[in-house]
């Protein structure tokens, strides 16, 4: 833990000390206050969550800037926790953009489930897990070539797993899953080459060496995050007026007991002139062992503004193997500039809820959520 | 004597033809002249946007727009406030060789640049009454690229044109454009949907000369079907200042 703090501390100290040196560039302070109440329909439990993200940004001339997202959050009336969600320094040269620090690295063009998004685990304790990623400590460089290629390299010194809810952690402990390492101190790395606007398409090819973000029991009865090498491909563009994308990643495991696996997403989107936006996507993830099922999910999303400032949206996820439906309607009511009240619900229809991957997205519930950005 | 008569007839004929030709500009000629008169190389402007819903409730946003028209048309728009849209950026790069354009959107919450598909270009630009395709109409640009025109009416003060989209990505069936002959700047444009129903009205107010270019101080885009409107106030504008070509790239779109 000490090592992790040491990584971030110099950035924070540098930011504070530098405010006097670079007085002409002011420190910008902004943030988000997020307060929600969930009512779980199975047991009538009410879960309250509070989260304050304080964001600090400072420019150092035109060549560098810094960003810190300090999150304070509490859940179920427990003591508040403070965490640096992101804290990084950007340094720009003529052809290379560097970013060092805790950051979110978004790779992949698919809708929410992105096979080539190798680095950041999802936060399954969040009210919308697929919208929340955890920052990872990393050094990232993007080199822009004269002929329009973007070559990205990423190195992360520590592995981070998906963050699971307390109930799921307890469930795993009951099953005897206690010895899984949280931080594996091995360097992960990845490269990506992107060519934009090639005959109307953005194309990317990527490689990665690291670990699966979800653990599995190996043949010795230990729970591990398997080490893997991956190659990926991503393309996005449009056919006619319809947006299309496909993204694949093929994992080759270091340990022979695991089957190499394919993860892929194929999707389309379309926006009507009345602003109705529709997304459809098929997602596939192969099993790593004979006893681990393939995951096949159909994602649908629709949203549309109503009365100019407000919005209705609905996500439907259907997992084919377990025949599980998760339906998530939501109404976003804009109270004022940058103040939004969200009212929504989740309905899960499953015969096999424990094994269904999509049931990780939420239980049967209704919720209200107030978001104030400042 | 015969020679003098013939020569006089010829001169009168040529003069008449010239007068007729200059008086009867076609609609496309008018659109081309609109573009020629402006001939702006670069524009940097800051705008205040007031969005009104059908009940009169208001939201306010500020936007910076930078555009360049050297070799190909490029534009970068960035929201400056309020905080829920701050940093949202939009990049458009014209590709005249295939009569299309590449459009990218940057949302700070996602932290990545995403290519926008053709269908999204007709959607609302971040909640305003302007679609992505309409953005180029701020500054009266791209009419001759995206529309062909027919003169419906002409008087001493103005032209009234019927403009018909030539760009397949534009969903309007046609528009009616009123152009001032004094400024060669449109004063009002009505856009009609596929059912011939009036959909939106763009009106330019208080058109003044800034650095020699006619520029409206206020633009209203009204969606008459939804009863909403967006009022755009010009806060500042600089024409033909040096703008680095590198800012019109996905690299700079995400740099905020």
Query: With an 8 Å Cβ cutoff, are A270 and B117 in contact?
Result: yes
pTM: 0.85
Give yes or no for A92 touching B (CB within 8 A). Answer: yes
Distance in angstroms (rounded) separating the CA atoms of residues B52 and A190:
47
Minimal CA–CA distance to A358: which of A334, A326, A327, A320?
A326
Instruction: Work out whether strand A261-271 and strand A277-285 pair parallel, antiparallel, or are unpaired.
Output: antiparallel
Are the beta carbons of B169 and A275 separated by less than 8 Å? no
In angstroms, the CA A306 to CA A312 distance is 7
Q: How far, in Å, CA of A128 to CA of B17, rounded?
A: 72
Output the CA torsion B175→B168→B183→B197 (10° steps).
10
**Averaged pLDDT, A85-103:** 95
Domains contained in chain B, number: 1
Taken as a whole, chain B contains a residue count of 256
User: Number of CB pairs < 8 Å for A and B?
Assistant: 102
Judge whether B35 lies within some domain.
yes
Point out the residue among A275, A308, A373 whose CB comes nearest to the CB of B51. Answer: A308
The owner of tokens 């893997």 is A228
Query: Domains of chain A: which residue ranges?
Result: 1-92, 93-272
Q: Let me know if A221 is exposed, middle or buried by CB neighbors in 10 A (0-12, 13-18, 19+).
A: exposed
Which residue in A145, A305, A140, A288 sits closest to A212, CA to CA? Answer: A288
CA A161 distance to own-chain centroid: 12
- Identify the CATH number of the domain in which residue B48 sits: 2.50.20.10
**Which tens digits make up the pLDDT trace of A22-31?**
455 688 999 9
Residue B18 lies in a domain: no
Entry field: residues in chain A = 374
Report residue B40 CA to chain centroid gap: 13
Q: In this complex, which of B100, B122, B193 lies closest to A271 when CB atoms are compared?
A: B122
Q: Has residue B66 been placed in a domain?
A: yes
With the C-alpha atoms ordered A120, B88, B143, B141, is the resulting torsion angle positive or negative? negative
Q: Identify all chain B residues contacting A340, using CB atoms and an 8 Å cutoff.
A: 84
**Range A60-64 contact pairs with CB under 8 angstroms and sequence separation of 24 or more:** A60/A18, A60/A22, A60/A25, A61/A22, A61/A25, A62/A92, A63/A91, A63/A92, A63/A93, A64/A89, A64/A90, A64/A91, A64/A92
Range of the domain at B225: 27-253
Quick check: B189 and B202 in contact, CB under 8 A? yes
Let me know if residue B236 belongs to a domain: yes
The verdict on a CB contact (< 8 Å) between A104 and B120 is no
Interchain proximity A309–B53, CB inside 8 Å:
yes
Q: Residue B20: what pLDDT?
A: 46
In-domain check, residue B149:
yes
- Among all residues of chain A, which has the CA nearest to that of B256? A65
Q: What is the pLDDT along chain B (256 residues), one digit of tens a residue?
A: 556 666 566 555 555 544 444 567 898 999 889 888 888 899 999 999 999 999 999 999 999 999 998 778 899 999 999 998 999 999 988 887 766 778 899 998 888 898 888 788 778 888 899 988 887 777 666 788 788 999 999 999 999 999 999 887 788 999 999 999 999 999 999 999 999 999 999 999 999 999 999 999 999 999 999 999 999 999 999 999 999 988 999 999 988 7
Evaluate whether residue B20 is within a structural domain: no
Q: Tens of pLDDT along A240-260?
A: 889 999 999 999 999 889 999
């Amino acid at each position: 833990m000490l090592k992790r703090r040491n990584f971030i501390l110099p950035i924070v100290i540098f930011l504070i000390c530098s405010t006097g040196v670079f007085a002409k560039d002011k420190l910008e302070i902004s943030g988000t206050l997020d307060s929600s109440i969930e009512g779980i329909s199975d047991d009538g439990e009410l879960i309250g969550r509070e989260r304050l993200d304080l964001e600090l940004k400072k420019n150092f001339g035109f060549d560098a800037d810094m960003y810190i997202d300090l999150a304070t959050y509490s859940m179920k009336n427990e003591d508040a926790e403070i965490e640096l969600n992101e804290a990084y320094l950007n340094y720009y040269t003529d052809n290379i953009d560097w970013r060092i620090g805790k950051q979110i690295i978004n790779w992949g063009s698919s809708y929410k489930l992105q096979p080539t998004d190798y680095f950041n685990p999802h936060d399954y304790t969040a009210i919308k897990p697929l919208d929340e990623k955890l920052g990872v400590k990393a050094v990232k460089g993007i080199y822009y070539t004269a002929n329009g290629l973007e070559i990205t390299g990423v190195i992360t010194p520590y592995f981070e797993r998906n963050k699971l809810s307390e109930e799921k952690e307890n469930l795993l402990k009951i099953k005897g899953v206690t010895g899984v390492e949280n931080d594996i101190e091995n360097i992960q790395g990845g490269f990506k080459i992107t060519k934009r606007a090639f005959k109307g398409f953005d194309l990317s090819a990527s490689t990665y060496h690291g670990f699966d973000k979800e653990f599995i029991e190996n043949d010795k009865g230990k729970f591990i995050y398997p080490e893997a090498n991956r190659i990926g491909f991503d393309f996005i563009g449009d056919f006619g007026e319809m947006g299309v994308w496909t993204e694949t990643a093929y994992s080759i495991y270091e340990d022979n007991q695991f089957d190499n696996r394919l993860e892929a997403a194929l999707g389309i989107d379309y926006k009507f002139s009345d602003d109705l936006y529709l997304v459809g996507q098929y997602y596939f993830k192969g099993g790593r062992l004979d006893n681990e099922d393939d995951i096949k999910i159909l994602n649908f999303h629709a949203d549309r503004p109503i009365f100019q400032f407000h919005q209705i949206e609905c996500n439907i996820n259907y997992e084919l193997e377990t025949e599980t439906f998760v339906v998530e309607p939501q109404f976003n009511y804009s109270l004022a500039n940058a103040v939004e009240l969200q009212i929504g619900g989740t309905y899960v229809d499953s015969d096999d809820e424990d094994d269904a991957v999509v049931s990780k997205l939420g239980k049967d519930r209704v919720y209200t959520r107030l978001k104030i950005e400042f | 004597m015969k020679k003098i008569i013939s020569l006089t007839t010829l001169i009168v004929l040529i003069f008449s033809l010239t007068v007729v030709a200059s008086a009867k500009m076609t609609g496309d000629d008018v659109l081309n002249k609109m573009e020629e008169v402006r001939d702006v190389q670069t524009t940097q402007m800051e705008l205040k946007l007031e969005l009104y819903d059908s009940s009169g409730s208001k939201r306010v946003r500020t936007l910076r727009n930078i555009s360049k028209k050297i070799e190909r048309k490029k534009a970068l728009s960035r929201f400056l406030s309020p905080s829920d849209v701050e940093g949202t950026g939009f990049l458009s790069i014209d590709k005249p060789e295939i009569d299309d354009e590449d459009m990218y959107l940057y949302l700070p919450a996602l932290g990545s640049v995403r290519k926008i598909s053709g269908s999204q270009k007709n959607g609302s630009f971040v909640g305003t009454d302007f679609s992505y395709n309409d953005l180029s109409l701020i500054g009266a640009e791209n009419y001759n690229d995206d529309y062909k025109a027919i003169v419906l009416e002409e008087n001493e003060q103005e032209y009234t044109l019927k403009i018909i989209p030539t760009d397949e990505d534009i969903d309007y069936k046609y528009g009616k454009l009123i152009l001032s002959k004094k400024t060669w700047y449109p004063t009002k444009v009505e856009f009609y949907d596929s059912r011939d129903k009036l959909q939106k009205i763009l009106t330019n107010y208080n058109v003044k000369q800034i650095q020699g270019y006619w520029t409206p101080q206020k633009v209203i885009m009204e969606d008459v079907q939804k009863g909403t409107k967006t009022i755009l106030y010009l806060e500042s504008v600089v024409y033909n200042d040096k703008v680095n070509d590198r800012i019109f790239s996905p690299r700079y779109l995400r740099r905020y």
